Amino acid sequence: MSRKLYLVASFLFLTLLQHFAFAQSASITWTPTTRLTYQDFQISPAGNSIHLSLNYEYELIPQPFGKYTPIVKATATLDPTLSTLSEANEINLRYAQIYFNIYGYGARLIQVKTVEMGTLQGNTESIRSVMNRHYGQISLRVKQLTNAFDTDLKVKPVPEVLDQWERDVQRLTEETPEVEIKNQLSKWQLGMYAGVGRNVMQGKTKSYFTDATSFNFGFSFDVKKSRFSWDMNLGFNRTIDYFERRGVWEPGTKASLATFEFTYGRKLQRQDWLWVPYVGLGVNEFTPRGNDDNDRRNLTGYVPVVGLEITRYLKHTIHPGQRSGFFCKTRLSASPTTFFTNFTGTHLNLRLAIGFDAARVKKEMAYVKKNVVI
């Protein structure tokens, strides 16, 4: 018995799934390049019946001081299952296409008028009332156009009417800018990363210390194309030769190298790759590892820093009001450190890290920029 119920339930589920898939794919959405074909209609002696819908949905984005920005998505659709032609000929198909294009013009007009409205003051109910009135006016405009089209067909030769209306509707559509809904990032974003690094000694420093392997972590703060970074490394190495500096450093002494860089860079981005050449100031400090509170041995140098950061974004996720980016990055910098005369030398610092950044994001409606061909 349970097996039969399972089979019946499976059959009903598959039937509903197929019906849903068909319903989803049945309607044809208007675009400026969409061209209807005879296969989009049923052939019926009852005559031409073009089943079109002008649809729109919107959300209200809160703004300061009790204002809202409406974000509207409008579409014109044709339902092939309900649309008929009296016969499959060019005149009927052109007639249906003009109707479809008039509705498409209406959908585009809804979005343009919404952009022109800008932000609206008031509570959500009053703003929804304004939006519904706005939609009704454009629906009336579409109805007036289709009525005028049908009237012309009754009093003028059909081929001339079709030619004239094709030109007029195309002109109306071209004169009405295309609008897109896009996610606009805020002017600033925050990032955090962690990884490993290698500090390569040069000059006189190399005679006294081995290269250091380090842990790396840092933060970034971006404002438009500018990036401010605070980068920190904690490295581990050993002394090579004997020297004295606030105490005796024996050969083989385990040492820690702490480096700090505060930098400013300019962001250069192409798709998922980001290059940031940067300059700044840094601090390099050697101290014995595991020293007690009375051990005053250290070498500290304050340095200029120049470098390049290369970031590869692996994934972006958009949540309501926020976009997050996950990345891996390489930072390569050089710092000509002067501890004192006998230890002058440039440090080359290579870091590999992974991290994420986050920025506030808001939806906005904007005119689509057309590519200009010269």
Q: Number of helices and strands (H, E) in the chain?
A: 4, 17
Looking at 119-133, 257-271, 322-336, which range is the least confident one? 119-133
For the segment 165-205, what is each residue's pLDDT rounded down to a tens digit?
999 999 999 999 999 888 777 888 999 999 999 999 888 88
- Percent of the chain at pLDDT exceeding 70: 90
Buried/exposed code over 188-227 (b: 16+ C-beta within 10 A; e: otherwise): ebebebebebbbebeeebbebbbbbebebbbebebeeeeb
CA dihedral for 122, 127, 130, 131, sign (positive or negative) = positive
Which amino acid type is present at position 50?
A: I
Tell me the average pLDDT across 61-89.
90
The pLDDT, as a whole number, for residue 171 is 95
Tell me the average pLDDT across 233-248.
87
Report whether pLDDT(371) > 70. no
**How far apart (Å, rounded) are the C-alpha atoms in residues 100 and 80?**
12
Q: What is the pTM of this model?
A: 0.60
Report whether pLDDT(103) > 70. yes
- In terms of Cβ atoms closer than 10 Å to its own Cβ (0-12, 13-18, 19+), residue 281 is middle
**How far apart (Å, rounded) are the C-alpha atoms in residues 265 and 257?**
25
**How far apart (Å, rounded) are the C-alpha atoms in residues 70 and 136?**
16
Q: Which two tokens stand for residue 94?
A: 């052109």
Give the pLDDT band (50/70/90) at residue 160: very high
Q: Which two tokens stand for residue 132?
A: 């519904």
- H or E element in which residue 210 lies: none
**How far apart (Å, rounded) are the C-alpha atoms in residues 210 and 22?**
70
- Binning the chain into helix, strand and coil, the percentages to the nearest 5 are 30, 50, 20
Report whether pLDDT(40) > 60. yes
Give the pLDDT band (50/70/90) at residue 164: very high
Which amino acid type is present at position 174?
A: E
Q: Which residue has the tokens 């509170």?
A: 293
Give the pLDDT band (50/70/90) at residue 328: very high
Q: How do beta strands 67-78 and 248-249 pair?
A: unpaired
